[in-house]
Amino acid sequence: MISIDSDTILDPKTIVEAIARSRGIDLSTIPRPDILLVSASPRIHTYICRALGAEPLSKWVYGRYSRWGISLAIIGGYRVAIARIASIDDINFIEELLSLGISKLIYTSFATGLNIDIGKVVVPYGTICEDGVSENYVPRGIGIAPSTQLLDRVRAVVSDDPELRDVVVFARALSIHSIYRLYTSKIKEFVVRWDCRCIDSKLCAVLALSQYYNKDAIAFLGITETILPYLERAKDETISNICRWITSLITKTITRIQSIAT
């Protein structure tokens, strides 16, 4: 049984501390990562862990191999916690990790493209929240942006890498839980008027949480299907390339970070 004082305001850090106490874990003995890398795609998560040689954290509040287990990798001298979220309910897990003192967040996922080629990687410079889980964190129709500092570093990385220049697109992203709630004309409006080039259901929530906790955040979204101007799905080879390009963006962006508050 987890004991929480009746007068305690429930917040993510309180919950994590209570779970740790119930399992006899001293949080001060767990290595504190500098950067949180979260993927909403199991395939991206698996690829990144293998490419970076990440090892599951043996002593962790939720268990080593649980749904909310994390792996650690060292990139550019920084400790990077690699986690995955399997559903919209796992947004709470991200908030719990952010409350432990992690300073920067990188979010990755596969996304649905809007007037963009299969195989591109979108780096959002802004977002629009339309519905779904993100509306619990950002009002409908409101935009939210990633860290300007991290976005500048990504632009520099892409500018210096000919391969990434060919695949990376800087554009807005639309957060909506179900594309079936929108008429095609409405989707086209997001493309033409607001430069939205992809859809991801969790992005606004993730960026909003990073701002609530005063953490820098950035996102890399791989286009594996499109609904405009036509329906198309990516082949396996293209998906593998997307995973490789996203991993390259992650490592090169992190190595350009000169200082991280810990």
Convert the pLDDT of each residue in 30-48 to its tens digit.
Answer: 888 899 999 999 999 999 9
**6 in a structural domain:** no
Chain centroid to CA 34 = 15
Given pLDDT bands bounded at 50, 70 and 90, which one contains residue 7?
low
**157 in a structural domain:** yes
Whether the upstream peptide bond of residue 229 has omega within 30° of 0, thus cis, is yes
| pLDDT tens, position by position, 136-194 | 676 666 678 899 999 999 999 999 999 999 999 999 999 876 665 566 777 788 888 88
Closest CA relative to residue 39, chosen from 77, 73, 76:
73
Instruction: Determine the Cα–Cα distance for residues 138 and 118; give it in Å rounded to an integer.
Output: 29
Structural domain containing residue 177: 31-255
What pLDDT does 228 receive? 85
**112 in a structural domain:** yes
Q: What is the CATH number of the domain that holds 133?
A: 3.40.50.1580
**237 in a structural domain:** yes
Instruction: Determine the Cα–Cα distance for residues 13 and 46; give it in Å rounded to an integer.
Output: 27
More confident position, 62 or 2 = 62
**5 in a structural domain:** no
Exposed, middle or buried by CB within 10 Å (0-12, 13-18, 19+), for 89? exposed
**53 in a structural domain:** yes
What is the DSSP code string of 97-163?
HHTTT--EEEEEEEEEEESS-TT-EEEEEEEEE-SSGGGGTS-TT-EE---HHHHHHHHHHHHH-HH
Q: Is the pLDDT of residue 110 over 60?
A: yes
Given pLDDT bands bounded at 50, 70 and 90, which one contains residue 259?
very low
Q: Is the pLDDT of residue 260 over 50?
A: no
Chain length of the chain: 262
| pLDDT tens, position by position, 60-94 | 888 776 788 899 999 989 999 999 987 767 888 88
Instruction: Determine the Cα–Cα distance for residues 193 and 174; give it in Å rounded to an integer.
Output: 12
- Enter the DSSP assignment of 10: P
Domain count, the chain: 1
